[in-house]
Amino acid sequence: MSPAPLAAYPALRLRRLRQADWIRRMVRESVLTPADLIWSMVVHEGDGEVPVASMPGVSRLSVKECAKAAVEARKLGIPAIAIFPHIDGSKKDALGSQAADPNGVIANAIKAMKDAAPEVGIMCDVALDPFTDHGHDGVIENGKIANDPTIERLVEQGLIQAQAGCDILAPSDMMDGRCAALRTALEGAGLQDTMIMSYAAKFASAFYGPYRDAIGSGKLGTGGAPIDKKTYQMDSANTEEALREVALDIAEGADMVMVKPGMPYLDIVSRVVETFQMPTFAFQVSGEYAMIMAAAQNGWIDEERAILESLGAFKRAGAAGVITYFAPRAAKMLGA
């Protein structure tokens, strides 16, 4: 369809459609609702809530508090919650063994949240970094992240999560072939209805720092481990490679795909949506959250306006939804 020809000024005055709130709402091209939000949440093994210093307003929640949050999400119209673990450092090892614990904090949180609010979807991170003492997403062999041995561990982890009642497995590790391995394992275990939202285009980014604080991640570079994640997460300069990564995950059985981080990569979101026409989500990561909150607390920006404007940008780029720590606040601001 060809665009309508533009009249010349003064016949055409674009400001006519901006002169009042009602007309701005009536011609708005993209709309953000609570149904577009996935609530990003960190669960810990202890009791109550533990504030995360680098993320003002965010706390690690106990299993009991996560169950309460699921009820709140249902009330607010938030369709799903993405949970991430914080475990005691003494339980971590080089293989991330606790990731496959059927009685671990993630399995317990899934069950508690599903008991409290079965209508709310639960998404689980499939990656080893919260459980390894070296902070990497995979198994280290000879100083390198070993792809296939890592996948074996991820499959164990994913099956435990799915058997506990997780609705969406979200592999964030960026190992080659992990979606195919997870899908095959799920089918073999009779868990064919479990969905996969792959972190298909996950970039090696400076914006993950506060999250590492939130989950108590091991320090990169310790014990001969690589000092960064650039051998498996993507180069921030690449677009075509992102499309190849997405294509691979779709071919391997991913039901939905994700771009991470979010706002610095809106061009990637747009290209993925246009190229594949698949449900595509963006993750407004911890660093994005922290920047908005820090600027707002210093009085440099309007906090609520910045929250909604940033989330709306993902919808404008074509995203089906956004994983965000702002989910409950944004839902309330949207009138839930």
SS3 call for 117: coil
Judge contact between 171 and 186, C-beta under 8 A: no
Sign of CA dihedral 321, 323, 326, 332: positive
CA distance 67 to 78: 14
Q: Helix axis angle, 286-297 relative to 303-317, nearest 10°?
A: 150
192: its two tokens? 């064919």
CA distance 313 to 200: 20
Instruction: List residues with catalytic annotation.
Output: 202, 260
Characterise 98 by phi-psi region: left (phi > 0), alpha (psi -120 to 50), beta (else).
Answer: alpha
Judge contact between 201 and 268, C-beta under 8 A: yes
Judge contact between 268 and 187, C-beta under 8 A: no
SS3 call for 48: coil
- Site of tokens 């404007």: 309
Judge contact between 180 and 253, C-beta under 8 A: yes
What DSSP letter does each residue of 233-301 carry, written as one string? SBPTT-SHHHHHHHHHHHHTT-SEEEEESSGGGHHHHHHHHHHH-S-EEEEE-HHHHHHHHHHHHTTSS
